[in-house]
A and B are shown apart, each in its own frame.
Chain A
Amino acid sequence: MPNGADTHCPYCALQCAMTLTPATSVAGAAPAPTAEPATPAAPLEVSGRDFPTNRGGLCRKGWTSASLLRHNGRVTEPMLKGSDGVHQPISWDQALMLITAAVKDTQQQYGNDAVGVFGGGGLTNEKAYLLGKFARLALRTSRIDYNGRFCMSSAAAAGNRAFGVDRGLPFPVTDLDSASVILMLGSNVAETMPPFVQHLQGARDAGGLIVVDPRRSATAAFTSDGGGLHLQPTPGTDLALLLGISHVVVHEGLVDAGYVAERTSGYAAVVRSLNAFWPERVQSITGVPANLIRETARRLAQGARAGGSYILSGRGVEQHVDGTDTATAAINLSLLLGLPGSARSGYGTLTGQGNGQGGREHGQKADQLPGYRKITDPAARAHVANVWGVDESLIPGPGLPAVELLRSLGQPDGVRCLFVHGANVVVSAPDTNAVTQGLRSLDFLVVCDFFMSETAAEADLVLPVTQWAEEEGTLTNLEGRVIRRRRALTPPPGVRSELWLMARLAEMFEAPSTFSDDPETVFEELRLASAGGLADYSGIDYAMLDRGEAAYWPYPVGSTGTPRLFADGFAHADGRAVMVPVTPSKRAVRSFADDSLALATGRLLEHYQSGAQTRRVSELLAAQPQARLLIHPGTAAARGISDGDYATVSNERGEVVCRAELSTAIRPDTVFLPFHFPGQENANRLTESATDPISGMPEFKTSMVWVRRAVSTQEHASYTIPAGTRLPVHVKEAS
């Protein structure tokens, strides 16, 4: 093949279009002899390709993505951990035998649910679909969930509750171009998906970009110089802020009364619940001045009448123990203003992971079957059982959501043998010290990855799998548009696709139904399984995607797909959107004891998720080699911390040591850490595994921490990752 291919970026859910062509300079170029094995030059050249989401643009992550394909740290053979703790290569046959033996042993002794599967939002639709089927039919376990629980679960739960369906953006992203007002709730697209920023330009020109973030992020900085407003609430108070904005909408008569009457239910109860949140009271809770709260409400209403208003939510407001209610408050606000399903306005949530949308639709979730079906719904079970050609009773019931699943590792009645696919939980899960302990208490841990990630390093068995440029498949981007991933390069000899692995294992487990290792065959089966579900893919096939047709789900056979949802109604029986009154819970209100600070975690432009991939790209690592604690100069001064000093950030769960960066961009009561880094810089050592009661989302954005100047700087001064070197412990994750 290696003649290149039109495909999409391996990283985030914007899925920027790119073209991969064989690199011209590589062939025959002998690397200069050095003491350390040098990483060979990328075998492919990346160029941006015109597509509505990215319009040819790519960020630094995308530009450099091909350098990982032949990276010398790549795992290219199955690796078994020896009694000395060192991984040694074994053959695939040996690996498959070991797995079947381990699974059988565990299940005989502890039952089927003692085997678990942890998936990822970076897996293709085909892999995510087959993983759900593999868990239920081949492993016969209910214990499957995935890292999307840490990303999209709150927005998904809120969307389902309000609209009856969860598609991140229920409209094409280009609809944003003409909007005069865009409210961004806890989303820093300027770093997380830079080419998306093009779609904010219209609102910025109209002075209507409104960003809610405790930090003056790169996105928030766009609001200066007349671009709009920046609201800087203290962490954990987003819900109150949204109630305050909605309060103003109601009391200043800005409600779209006709829309509310015709298209929603629950209005009166929501209005009553908003009464207690007048702007001055909300100012006292959030730290956002009352006049800014009023201004925000008025601008949104103005935009809704002329030009268009959009409300977009991100992880900043969703990754909380009250994340579902916060997303609900954002939806209520959008419904009061009449945005969802209207021609020039809308509400959406910005999906993060590459296939964060498709990955949450086809059965990788504990409570779900393909087509966004509920596993507890008898009709859904019957449908899927029929497609799979098995008796319905063979499909297990609901399992455990991610955080509970991880908490159960090695526990009595918990999971004792775990498969991890496209996730690096040692870095990305909350309370990673506890997660690492859990992994170490397993009888057997299998990790599929292309690098020896921090999680792979814990594994008994590491299985090398294909990277994005080496495989075929589909992903569903943040708009609910299904797109093709295409192969541009032959994978290294020892590397297999996860479809192949599941097909072989299913054979060895004598699983019922069929398990193909051909992506298109799997997709054809996914079509049938999803037919009639909320996320119906039945009218989509590879050929039409290859013709460049824009396919937005739901796309039942015989239709032309659904670029814009809700134009005619919402997905509840009566066609109305449901407004649910929400108020801040006691649990969500953090007390700032002594001199504790709120810790928000987040992302840098140069790194993706746990950094498993991007920390191996020398250009990206050189730009952001280590975690830095963003801290206000006043807060730093009180702790004797100067710019560049090492600081310890600690709480009852763990401790992080990293350099401090002083900036007035952060609130004085808040510090910020990127979560891309491992070891003692791992921000998730500090996050809490408390979860949202509805979505199972952990609390990532408001942990209470103490910050001190590190006692001995020598102790830590040597801690940097030398760029470009091969490190024994590093990360992968396609999550």
Chain B
Amino acid sequence: MSERIVVVGFGPVAARLVDELLPAVRTGLVQLLVVGQESEAAYNRVMVAELAVGRTTAEALAMADASDLEADGVQVRLGVKVKRIDRARQHVVLSDGTTEHYDRLVFATGSRPVIPNLTGLNPDPSRPVLPDGVTALRDLKDAAVLRAAVAGGKRVVVLGGGVLGLETALAASEEGAKATVVHNGPFPLGRSIDRGSGSVLTNSLRASGVRMAGNARSTGVETAGPGGSFSALLLDDGSAIDGDLLVLSCGVRPRIELAEGCGLPVASGILVDHHLRTYHEPHMFAIGDCAEVHCADPSCKECRTASGPSGLVGPGWRQAKWLAEYLVVLARDGQTAADSLEPVPTEKPGVVVLKARGINLAMAGDNQADPWDEEALEAGATAGRARRQISQWADPEHGRYVKMTTRGGVLEGLVAVGMPRTAAELVLLFERSSELPADRSLLLRLDGPDQLDTNASSNDPQRTVCRCAGVSAASIEGSVMEGCSTVGEVSKATRAGTGCGGCHEDIKGIIEKHFQGAAA
């Protein structure tokens, strides 16, 4: 008898899980029901800001197709919420009044935007009622709101200096809106990057047309626009930032109410062990933004330093892939076989690459220490562990900045602004935990022209002129001395220029040089 798996939520992570389970559904090994609250099947939420500025289409964002899935035997319920879960009876109660049985249940409920506590906004996170002209940019409807503002060249105020806020503001500005970012602290991305990169980044954003309002504490929204819509963001110094649309980009919070409501232990997310199982209920699982991997074993080293859900989609996809394999083994070979699978690998701190056209920024790990900050460098350097080392390059005039924080030559933190090749290589090195070259400046020069092998100087007689036939300048000069005066004659005598013909100009140059010399 095949097991029935119910997936609660149908975002990108659930879509990956469903994809990975499809073969088992087709063979009848498992039955699968997916319940999605939105009326659309899973789409790529990571790119909602791109959609909102008109850089992609809703069609292109689709990650699943309900009718295709149904043709494969997956049950898909869209526009329906799971109201509660009855663990004793092993069924879920849906908002349309029906109940569905499960053998295994997977929470993939994701997260919801944080609604900041501002006068004029309803702070109840589970029932946000936002005034017109205020959006949290989470789903397709939100995207449509921003899309209209961008298309109309309106003033867009983005509250929050995180990655999504910056991406939204930059893209909106590039596509014609007047964008302002309002953030705490002197520079955006506060906890992830350092002052140097923050300053360079701020300047780059300004150069791209984004207004940056730093060190700002917002207190409320003014809704004096048409029909009581948003008109300004109010700050604690009494000033106001006028705008037509306020985009709230204040982070996300895992959606855990459903799990909490049925008595499962939660922290910031739904607590799961290294097999993604909820505590005390091993046939329930959680993946993606709503899951917090933190096992119950107090001596587990990995969990001692673990933080909550990362909010990045990459780890969620890896969890989905892993869980699909687990569920298939479970259905086919039983509990013992499934539990003997390697647990889901611990995630490294996430790498963030700003999704932006005009600005290149990559960051990962801890970037707070400065080169001369002894205390920070010595931190953690006990029991024979190497101390931290910092290498840094700053060129604010040209919008470039790199900081590499290493321990034993291996990156613990990186931030790179305005140096795409360097950023790309550093990210690879970070993810592989590979040792950096002792001469760190090699990594800086990847974006520079000296990476081109300097061909031997054009006066070097031994340089190869014709690669195809392997003929040196000296041989060609020799043939010219012996009387060759055209490319054809040189080719005949030396075979130079008889392959791809790319060196004909060079040969001509050598001939001309010879005869000029003779004439002089």
> What is the interface of chain A, defined by CB distance below 8 A to chain B?
48, 55-60, 63, 190, 194-198, 201, 216, 218, 221, 224, 234, 250-253, 268-269, 271-272, 275-276, 278-281, 283-284, 286-292, 294, 591-592, 595, 605-606, 619, 623, 632-635, 637-638, 663-665, 668-669
12 more CB-based (< 8 A) A-B contacts, given A668-B437, A669-B432: A201-B502, A224-B452, A251-B50, A268-B62, A271-B60, A286-B424, A289-B423, A294-B357, A605-B467, A633-B442, A635-B437, A668-B425
Picked from A269, A284, A664, the residue with its CB within 8 Å of the CB of B353 is A284
- Once the chains bind, are A290 and B353 in contact (CB under 8 Å)? yes
User: Is the CB of B144 closer than 8 A to any CB of chain A?
Assistant: no
Q: CB within 8 Å of A: which of B328-375?
A: 351, 353-355, 357, 360, 362
B63 within 8 A of A: yes
Q: Choose one: A198, A284, A294; the contact of B500 (CB below 8 Å).
A: A198
Residue of B nearest to A55 (CB): B501
Q: Which residues of A contact B355 (CB under 8 A)?
A: 278-280, 290
Identity of the chain B residue whose Cβ is nearest the Cβ of A251 in the assembled complex: B56
Q: Say which residue of B60, B424, B439 sits within 8 Å of A634 (CB atoms).
A: B439
Verify if B46 is at the interface (C-beta below 8 Å from A): yes
Q: Is the CB of A281 within 8 A of B353?
A: yes
Question: Could you list some 15 contacts between A and B, CB below 8 A?
Answer: A57-B500, A60-B470, A194-B467, A251-B55, A276-B63, A278-B44, A289-B423, A595-B435, A606-B470, A634-B437, A637-B437, A637-B439, A664-B451, A664-B453, A668-B425
What are the nearest 10 A-B pairs in CB distance? A289-B420, A197-B500, A634-B437, A194-B468, A251-B56, A280-B353, A194-B499, A634-B442, A592-B432, A275-B44
CB atoms of A288 and B434 under 8 A apart:
no
Q: Label chain A's interface by main secondary structure.
A: helix
Contacts of B279 in A (CB 8 A): none
Query: Which residues in B have their C-beta under 8 angstroms from that of A606?
Result: 470
B351, B498, B501, B502: which has the most chain A beta carbons within 10 Å? B498
B 1-55 contacts with A by CB, 8 A: 12, 16, 43-44, 46-47, 50, 55
**B432 interface neighbour in A56, A289, A591, A663, Cβ under 8 Å:** A591
Bound Cα distance from A279 to B469, whole angstroms: 40
A429 to B63 CA separation, bound complex (whole angstroms) = 41
Q: How far is the CB of B420 from chain A (nearest CB, A)?
A: 3
For A63, A196, A292, A668, the residue with the greatest tally of chain B CB atoms inside 10 Å of its CB is: A668
Asked if B93 is at the interface of the complex by the 8 Å CB criterion, the answer is: no
Alpha-carbon distance A252/B357, docked complex (angstroms): 12
Asked if B65 is at the interface (CB within 8 A of a chain A CB), the reply is yes
User: Which partner residue on chain A sits nearest B425 by CB separation?
Assistant: A287
Q: Which of B418-450 contact A (CB under 8 A)?
A: 420-421, 423-425, 427-429, 431-432, 434-435, 437-439, 442
When the two chains form their complex, are residues B427 and A252 in contact, meaning their CB atoms are under 8 A apart? no
Instruction: Pick the most buried of A60, A197, A224, A294: most chain B CB atoms within 10 A of its CB.
Output: A60
B314 within 8 A of A: yes
Tell me, rounded to whole Å, the shortest Cβ–Cβ distance linking A597 to chain B. Answer: 9
Give A63 to B50 CA distance when docked, in angstroms. 56
Q: Which residues of A contact B55 (CB under 8 A)?
A: 251-252
Residues of A within 8 A of B56 (CB): 250-253
B360 contacts A57, C-beta separation under 8 Å: no
CA distance A160 to B46 in the complex (A): 35
- In the bound complex, CA of A289 to CA of B357 (Å): 11
Complex contact B470–A290 (CB within 8 A): no
Q: Which residues of B contact A195 (CB under 8 A)?
A: 468, 499-500
Contacts of A664 in B (CB 8 A): 451, 453
* A60→B425 contact, CB < 8 A: no
In the complex, what distance in Å separates the CA atom of A221 from the CA atom of B362? 28
Chain B residues numbered 276-323 whose CB sits less than 8 Å from any CB in chain A: 313-314, 317
By CB atoms of chain B within 10 A, which of A63, A294, A635 has the most?
A: A63
Enumerate chain B residues within 8 angstroms of A275, measured Cβ to Cβ.
12, 43-44, 47, 60-63
Q: A197-B500, A272-B65, A605-B467 are in contact. Are A663 and B453 (CB under 8 A)?
A: yes
Chain B residues positioned under 8 Å from A665 (CB to CB): 453
Q: Is the CB of A234 within 8 A of B438?
A: no
User: How far apart are the CA atoms of A287 and B446 in the complex, in Å?
Assistant: 11
Bound CA span A251–B469, Å: 45
Chain B CB within 10 A, most for which of A198, A284, A292: A284
Given the known inter-chain contacts A638-B435, A669-B434, please indicate yes or no for A290 contacting B47, CB distance below 8 A. no
Q: Is B237's beta carbon under 8 Å from chain A?
A: no
User: For A194, what are the chain B residues with a Cβ–Cβ distance below 8 Å?
Assistant: 467-468, 499-500
Question: Known interface pairs A284-B351, A634-B439. Does A291 touch B360 (Cβ–Cβ under 8 Å)?
Answer: yes
Q: List chain A residues, Cβ under 8 A from B437.
A: 634-635, 637-638, 668
Determine how close the nearest CB of chain A comes to the CB of B456; give it in whole angstroms: 14
Closest residue on chain B to residue A586 by CB atoms: B321
Partner of A198, one of B354, B424, B501: B501
Contacts of A279 on B, CB cut-off 8 Å?
A: 355
B90 contacts chain A at the CB level, 8 A cutoff = no
Query: What residues of A have a CB within 8 angstroms of the CB of B313 in the complex?
Result: 276
Given contacts A251-B56, A275-B61, contact A281 B435 (CB under 8 A): no
Q: Which residues of B contact A591 (CB under 8 A)?
A: 432
**Contact between A284 and B467, CB atoms less than 8 A apart:** no
Report the Cα distance A56→B43, complex, angstroms.
Answer: 55
Q: Are B317 and A250 in contact (CB under 8 A)?
A: no
Selected contact of A287 from candidates B16, B47, B424, B495, CB within 8 Å? B424
Q: How far is the CA of A63 from the CA of B424 in the complex (A)?
A: 43
With A252-B56, A668-B442 known to touch, is A289 a contact of B501 (CB < 8 Å)? no
Are the C-beta atoms of B46 and A278 separated by less than 8 Å?
yes
**Would you give the shortest CB distance from B13 to chain A, in whole angstroms?**
11
Contact among B47, B421, B427, B468 for A284, CB-based, below 8 A: B427
Which residues from chain A contact B63 at a C-beta distance below 8 Å?
Answer: 272, 275-276
State in angstroms the CA–CA spacing of A60 and B451 once bound together.
29
- With the chains together, A252 CA to B53 CA distance in Å? 12
- The answer to whether A269 touches B435, judged by C-beta atoms less than 8 angstroms apart, is no
Q: Closest CB-CB distance, B357 to chain A, in whole Å?
A: 7
Report how far A658 CA is from B412 CA in the complex, Å.
Answer: 35
> Is B68 an interface residue, CB under 8 A from the partner?
yes
Report Cα–Cα, A287/B432, bound state, in Å: 12
Q: Is B57 interfacial (CB 8 A cutoff)? A: yes
Contacts of B44 in A (CB 8 A): 275-276, 278
Specify which chain B residues have a CB less than 8 angstroms from the CB of A198 in the assembled complex. Answer: 500-501
Q: Once the chains are docked, how many angstroms separate the CA of A346 from the CA of B428?
A: 33
* Contact between A59 and B60, CB atoms less than 8 A apart: no
- Contacts A63-B469, A287-B428, A595-B434: A57 and B420 contacting too (C-beta < 8 A)? no
Bound form: Cα–Cα A213–B368 in Å: 36
B15 nearest in chain A by CB position:
A272
Interface string of B58-71 (1 = CB under 8 A from A): 01111111001000
Q: Give bound CA distance, A638 to B442, whole Å.
A: 12
A12 → B minimal CB distance (Å)? 12
Q: Min CB distance, A497 to chain B, in Å?
A: 31
A275 to B16, CA, bound (A): 11
Cβ of A634: which chain B residues have Cβ within 8 Å of it? 437-439, 442
Bound CA span A196–B499, Å: 9
Please, how many angstroms separate the alpha-carbon atoms of A426 and B29 in the complex?
A: 46
Asked whether B498 lies within 8 Å of A638 as measured between CB atoms, the reply is no
Interface readout for B448-477 with A: 1 if CB under 8 Å, 0 if not? 000111000000000000011110000000
Smallest CB gap from B317: residue in A: A276
Nearest to B43 among chain A residues (CB) is: A275
Q: Are A63 and B498 in contact (CB under 8 A)?
A: yes
User: B420, A291: Cβ atoms under 8 Å?
Assistant: yes
- The answer on a CB contact under 8 Å between B468 and A253 is no
* Contacts known (A251-B55, A281-B314, A664-B453); A638 close to B438, Cβ less than 8 A: yes
- Are A280 and B354 within 8 A (Cβ)? yes
Known: A287-B424, A637-B439, A665-B453. A63 touches B60 (CB 8 A): no
By a CB distance below 8 angstroms, the chain B residues around A250 are 56, 60
Contact, CB under 8 Å: A63 / B495: yes
Residue of B nearest to A667 (CB): B425
> In the complex, what residues of B have CB within 8 A of residue A221's CB?
453
Residue of A197, A269, A275, A595 most packed against chain B (CB within 10 A): A275
